[in-house]
Amino acid sequence: MGCGNSLDRHSSSSDHNPVPCRLDLTPRQLELIRFSWDLIQKDMLVTGLEIYANFLKNLESEILLLFPKIIHTDENNERLIVHEENLQHHVMIVMKGIGKVVDNLDNPALIHSFLSYVGQRHVQSNVKPHMLERLWPSIDDSFRTVLQDVYTPDVRSSWRCVIDFMIEKIAETMEEAERKQDFRLANDKNCSFAHLAD
């Protein structure tokens, strides 16, 4: 079971004013996502904590450093300390973010502005677009644990579509922000060297 992603950016509007795009799930996929999300959200914190326990465990320090409120080293720089309260807070924000997308699959404008906002937050946190896909293996593992028999290949591939879609939209905002930053830097350089041309 595949998924369509009707990306309308290129159809009528310029890159600066993209038309919200829609994730084209089949009616069956929509049903599978909504049904399985109902089960997941019954214990959202536990599922989310499992996702992040798995995710953080497998990360290299370059990425761990992006979570200073959640994970830091002790005073001797020997042990990693997890700030449980902040971790729970982060987990709930991310899980509610997934829920917001699932609950609004028929509202592309809302999804577009929400995922743009999430993209900006990642830019502010120095996350790079290529890092985003690192969360999927942990989501996949914990959804399998929580959903057990319900996590059929069709349910899994429907979730893959939703998460890939989210990653793609978040990354687009981040890349756009990077392009603007490069442009600003290039302009600044042009300004500081402008006198040499005289």
Q: 176 Cβ partners below 8 Å, 6+ apart?
A: 15
Query: Is the CB of 81 or the CB of 186 nearer to ligand HEM?
Result: 81
Q: Which residue stretch of 5-13, 77-85, 144-152, 161-169 sits at the interface with ligand HEM (rule: CB under 6 A)?
A: 161-169
Query: Is the CB of 147 or the CB of 163 nearer to ligand HEM?
Result: 163
Q: Could you say whether residue 94 binds ligand HEM (CB under 6 A)?
A: yes
CB atoms under 10 Å from CB of 176, counted, come to 17
The minimum distance between CB 155 and ligand HEM, in angstroms, equals: 17
Residue 43-82 contact track with ligand HEM, rule CB under 6 A, x = bound:
--------------------x--xx-x-------------
160, two tokens:
């893959």
Q: Which residue stretch of 17-25, 91-99, 103-111, 150-158 sits at the interface with ligand HEM (rule: CB under 6 A)?
A: 91-99
Query: Is the CB of 45 or the CB of 186 nearer to ligand HEM?
Result: 45
Q: What angle do CA 172, 176, 180 make, to 5 degrees?
A: 170
Query: Is the CB of 34 or the CB of 89 nearer to ligand HEM?
Result: 89
173, two tokens:
């905002």
For CA atoms 165, 20, 18, 190, give the dihedral sign.
negative
How far, in Å, CA of 131 to CA of 66, rounded?
11
Nearest to 39, CA basis, from 167, 146, 190: 146
How far, in Å, CA of 51 to CA of 95, rounded?
10
* Interface contacts to ligand HEM, rule CB under 6 A: 63, 66-67, 69, 90, 93-94, 97, 118, 121-122, 125, 127, 131-132, 134-135, 163, 166-167
